[in-house]
Structure 1
């Protein structure tokens, strides 16, 4: 596809303040953690946070004046999406609450192995709260093996109680974080399309390969989120690096806006998770 040269920097969505009582409570909680940690010199940790919650937590830390060098997010592996906020003042004794549980399936040869939603469903069946659980990694080089990152009490419960995922028997073993292998980078196929404008319905239609009318219907039905926030307008503007979650269809990231095509349409680059 021919592209024009476009040196103008793409617009990026700015920070979106807390949108509801739950998000405002999270920010107040993070400020309380910061006051306790840096007022008393004792390490403090949050539960697992989504990327949206991490943005809110960082804003709360900035508001509280927390020292940047003593604050970090830890998910148990380098590319973690869900992470724990770690507040570790100088001279404290840090002890990360993140643990890893390795699950091995006892499946017959040729049997269908559990997928991500099967593992998550079985964990919810143990009445674990979502904030106690981090990422679930299924390395393609280890079929039948899953690595679950969790807070320490949840990890202990998983090892004691989880015996099957779906109809497949599993064995659980807790690992130290330095025993977790390096996972291969996920291969994501970058796709390119052109759109008439950077409106949600146009971009969503290109990603889903459907009509703009169908994309608008998905938005109206409440099935679309941008950066984990519900969106109600099909005309909403979209920005580079936005993440689109479409219930029942998948999740997509708009990675780049390279410029205009010869027909003066906006080029977008994206991938599906």
Structure 2
């Protein structure tokens, strides 16, 4: 794929758009203050990519640089914010669970949504749960990255997912074939422009009219924020969530073809 420097780079920071996002930033600033003044590490539960951007901005505003994000493995999507002053003791904020479906097969096996719903049904908040990973080597097995202090509770209380009984075991790490993250198939296409409807249509293999209908119906988010109009410009690394359909990432934006179409590469989660 050819590349051109005159095409848009990654999307810039978008300020908080709701009271909930402003509360998140204030909470991060307060944790930064405590970590600095008391010289102790502070941690904040699993955050989405959008929440991670807000947390970074809050840390910058608080002039606190000793931060990292950790989701339990390379390439994790949801990550814990770790505020760790120099020379302070550090904790391992995440732990792992191995969940095995018992006595089921084929379409009856629980999936990501089943496991997430069942864990949340134990009364836990979403921030307690990181990524849920299907084991490509065993269709009956899922792994969960969770907050370390919730590992034993989930392991003892979770007994089913969907309509299927499951066995839950604690483990010290993910298997080696999952530690580097899931390899996703990168696909390529050309689009007439970097309008949201044009790019979404290419990723979904549908028409621009249908893509625009999804947007008009309020079913599309970019980076966890509602997409307001089909003509909005999109950028490299944007994540599209289409309710009821799936999630896509615009991985890279390339140069232009002889017919003035833009090369893109993308993958579906």
TM (norm. structure 2) is: 0.92
Q: Displacement, 1:219?
A: 0.8
Distance 1:78 1:257 in 2: 24
Q: Which residue of 2 aligns with 1:167?
A: 163
Given that 2:101 and 2:164 are in contact with CA atoms closer than 8 Å, whether structure 1 keeps it comes out as: yes
Distance 1:122 1:202 in 2: 37
Aligned pairs for 1:1-273 (under 5 A) are 6=4, 8=6, 10-67=8-65, 70-108=66-104, 112-176=108-172, 179-182=173-176, 183=178, 185-273=181-269
Given that 2:188 and 2:263 are in contact with CA atoms closer than 8 Å, whether structure 1 keeps it comes out as: yes
Distance 1:136 1:5 in 2: 34
Backbone CA RMSD of aligned residues? 1.9
Distance 1:77 1:186 in 2: 10
Q: Displacement, 1:11?
A: 2.4
How many residues end up aligned between the 2 structures?
267
Distance 1:106 1:223 in 2: 35
Deviations 1:173-195 (A, max 9, x none): 2223xx33221642322222222
Given that 1:101 and 1:174 are in contact with CA atoms closer than 8 Å, whether structure 2 keeps it comes out as: yes
Distance 2:105 2:253 in 1: 45
TM (norm. structure 1) is: 0.91
Given that 1:107 and 1:113 are in contact with CA atoms closer than 8 Å, whether structure 2 keeps it comes out as: no
Distance 2:114 2:185 in 1: 25
Unaligned runs of 5+ in 1: none
Between 1:108-117 and 1:195-204, the stretch displaced more is: 108-117
Q: What SS is found at the alignment partner of 1:232?
A: coil
Q: What SS is found at the alignment partner of 1:46?
A: strand
Unaligned runs of 5+ in 2: none
